[in-house]
Structure 1
């Protein structure tokens, strides 16, 4: 996992692509988006998905840099958004990765309700940084 996340941290992409992908990561859904982007029947494990997404993003970035007519910005943003979402998913300990449901204990929920505290939600893409 650490090697995958360190590879993500080393990505350098234009600031506008990164910002747009971070906005898109707010609504990221593994079941919906990953299936569409990777064309898999069911979503693979997060580490496997990240590796496949990184390969796909690398190819898309090559198209961008070479001025290929097949390059599309929305596709590039989709893949970067999925990378951010998967990295967050991989690095989030409070998520049961087999069912993608929150495993917050009943006691923690009750304590949060008593104190009126809001549940902490990390900023999308916070598990890694794509340098602009």
Structure 2
């Protein structure tokens, strides 16, 4: 069995105080996620960041405040658990990290058949 760690939407626009879609509990789980990432790296498991990413005029902003606009600071992973060289980043436009992305194909290419999932899922 080959496992990867998926870190879901731990972005500034969800985690930081005053963020457009702030989730206060996300800050509470940061130390645990940091430990999971360290463990995965120590074990040689891939760390994959699944990141909400929108165009400035995304229709989703009719339902939610603008957030995670591609290229902005808000769309970045919080500094405490920032991706490192060799980590994979998957930008997604919908709730699913698989819909409209190369995630499924990338997992298959790497022989990954098991996922550990964390973040604001």
Name the TM-score, length of structure 1 as normaliser: 0.25
- Give the structure-2-normalised TM-score: 0.26
Higher helix share: 1
Between structure 1 and structure 2, the one with the greater Rg is: 1
